[in-house]
Amino acid sequence: MVSEVSPLEIERNAGNFFYPETHVNDAGVGLTEKTIDYIVNIKEEPEWVREFRMNGLKIFLGKPMPTHWASRDLEAIVFENIRYYLSSGTQAKRSWEDVPDDVKRTFERLGIPEQERKFLAGVEAQFDSEAVYSNIKAAVGEQGVIFVGSTEGLKNHPEIFRKWFGKVIPTGDNKFSALNSAVFSGGSFIYVPPGVKVKHPLQAYFRINAENFGQFERTLIIVDEGAELTYMEGCTAPKFNTATLHSAVVELVALKGAKIQYITVQNWSANVFNLVTKRAIAHEEAEVKWIDCNIGSRLTMKYPGVVLKGRKARGEVLSIALASNGQHQDTGAKMVHAADETTSNIISKSISIGTGRATYRGLVHVPKHLKNCKNNTECDALLINANSRTDTYPAITVRGTGNSVQHEASVSQVSAEQIFYMQQRGLTAAQAMSLSVNGFVNDLVRQFPMEYSVELKRLIELEMEGSVG
């Protein structure tokens, strides 16, 4: 039997290639008001967007780096050396035929058009600052589902866009949400009308090709009453010697009874600073589930959150972080309970290899006046070899008497004896480690959609081969 090839096959190093730059639009190096004028003009955005961006810049410049609580490695980002906008056009193509050859080759190499044919309801492919391709299957479009880039969303659907844009994550939420607000470009705008259940996932693929560059996509998803959506995002970049910055803002709105599942497999190269703000608002009886897998990058800081705004809303974060040599995965979850009978579940598994470092930060907030709220938090860390480091910073505030919280944490190790035992059965050291890691994440991965669990297992194997050497 030939094993089924994962439709989402993105090998760990498969993203490590790039083509020469052919950008027509380049905002230049550094970030000033001029950069913003350049972006607004090239994208032909309305005046309110210029104001929004300028406000973002002001807040960004005024906020200190969060090094007082986060990694000092953030200081290695030199904002003056980064290019904030690079594109070859601002209109995403509806057909791969119309996408320029070199860019199309990139996405073909990453297998995106093939996956689209196989099992996706729609795809958006972003290359540096702009989506080069965006298309949704006709049947899904006919149900009234909107799936376009952020620029198109704000221009063509202002009545829905402006209602929610920047409302889930205000510009001043943190330094990087402010930065994104100043220079955002690309990302998805999705609207699912009431009662529409989108059967197949919509996918966005974010590709960085250029050096000394920052990618700042902005995603806004609104799923109306009783509707359902699964959205997946993948990302890769070539390995450059200089730092690349990826700083996205993702806002989700699940209206009454809606369900959103948002899946990320982050596979950035080891020079990427991945500083992302992701948050959802769940209205009455809505469900939001973040599935977040962080395999690559130099430093990832990401804490997907759900504000449980309506009665019986439910939020979930399932996350896996793999920190190899020299990498730091600083990840976690935020659950803000703001209504009665809301429930949240956080399961975090981290793996640290060699000098890799995994940090879990969790925030669970249940105010005193609420009743019958529940939170369950589990964080498990696996250490492979003695240099690895793992930290857990759970901040759980649960007030009031009718609410319950459960928190479990564990740290385990793959011992040399365990590896020897497995080697004695014929597995190489790398195979032994990846099997141990797969065993560690197994119960969590089982909850992922099939395509992603296969993909994740492969990524873990490839990562282990690389780290054993």
Partner 1 sequence: MNRLEIQHLHATIAEQEIIRGLSLTVPKGEVHAIMGPNGSGKSTLAKVLAGHPDYKVTSGSVSMDGEDILALEPDERARRGIFLAFQYPNEIPGVTIANFLRAAVQARLPEGDELEATDYYAKLYEKMDLLEMDRAFTSRAVNEGFSGGEKKRNEILQLAMLEPKYAVLDETDSGLDIDALKVVANGVNSLRGPNLGVLLITHYQRLLDYIIPDHVHVMVQGRIVRSGEKNLALELEEKGYDWLRDELAEPAVA
Other residues' Cβ atoms within 10 Å of the Cβ of residue 81: 12
139 binds partner 1 (CB under 8 A): no
- Say if CB 294 and CB 300 are below 8 A apart: yes
Specify the residue, 393 or 421, whose C-beta has the smaller distance to partner 1. Answer: 421
Query: Does 48 engage in binding with partner 1 (CB under 8 A)?
Result: no
Distance CA 357, CA 371 (A): 38
Q: How far apart are the C-alpha atoms of 63 and 186, rounded to whole Å? A: 24
The answer to the question of residue 412 lying near partner 1 (CB under 8 A) is yes
Binding test (CB under 8 A) with partner 1, winner from 428, 449, 465, 468: 428
Q: What is the DSSP string of 111-154?
A: THHHHHHHH-SEEEEEETTEEEEEEE-HHHHHTT-EEEEHHHHH
| Among 105-113, 225-233, 256-264, 421-429, the segment contacting partner 1 (CB under 8 A) | 421-429
Q: Is 416 in the site for partner 1 (CB under 8 A)?
A: yes
Among residues 120 and 382, whose Cβ is nearest to partner 1? Answer: 382
- Kindly indicate which of the ranges 222-230, 302-310, 361-369, 423-431 contains the residues binding partner 1, using the contact rule CB under 8 A: 423-431
Per rule CB under 8 A, is residue 422 in the interface with partner 1? yes
| Nearer of residues 117 and 446 to partner 1, judged by Cβ | 446
Tell whether residue 138 is a contact of partner 1 (CB under 8 A). Answer: no
CB atoms within 10 A of CB 45: 17
Q: Are 18 and 209 in contact (CB under 8 A)?
A: yes
Which region, judged by CB under 8 A, interacts with partner 1, from 61-69, 83-91, 249-257, 419-427? 419-427
Q: Are strands 146-149 and 188-192 parallel, antiparallel or unpaired?
A: antiparallel
For residues 35 and 61, is the Cβ–Cβ distance under 8 A?
Answer: no
Q: Mind spelling out the 3-state secondary structure of 241-255?
A: CCCEEECCEEEEEEC
Contact flag: residue 379 with partner 1 (CB under 8 A): no
Q: Which range binds partner 1 by CB under 8 A, 102-110, 279-287, 357-365, 417-425?
A: 417-425
Complex with partner 1: residue 235 or 441, whichever CB lies closer = 441
Neighbours of 289 (CB within 10 A): 21
Query: Considering CB under 8 A, how many residues would be counted as binding partner 1?
Result: 28
Least Å distance, CB 412 to partner 1, is 7
Q: Does residue number 423 form part of the binding site for partner 1 (CB under 8 A)?
A: yes
In the window 114-133, what residues touch partner 1 (CB under 8 A)?
none
447 binds partner 1 (CB under 8 A): no
Tell me how far apart the terminal alpha carbons of the chain are, to the nearest angstrom.
30
Of 43-51, 190-198, 219-227, 412-420, the segment contacting partner 1 by CB under 8 A is 412-420
139 Cβ contact list (under 8 Å, min separation 6) = none
What are the structure tokens assigned to 389, written together? 């480091």
Question: Does 435 contact partner 1 by CB under 8 A?
Answer: yes
Please identify, using beta-carbon distances, which residue of 280 and 445 lies nearer to partner 1.
445
Are 408 and 377 in contact, with CB atoms under 8 Å apart? yes
Of 253, 85, 66, which is closest to residue 168 (Cα–Cα)? 253
- Which spans of this chain sit near partner 1 (rule: CB under 8 A)? 1-3, 412, 415-418, 420-429, 431-432, 435-436, 438-443
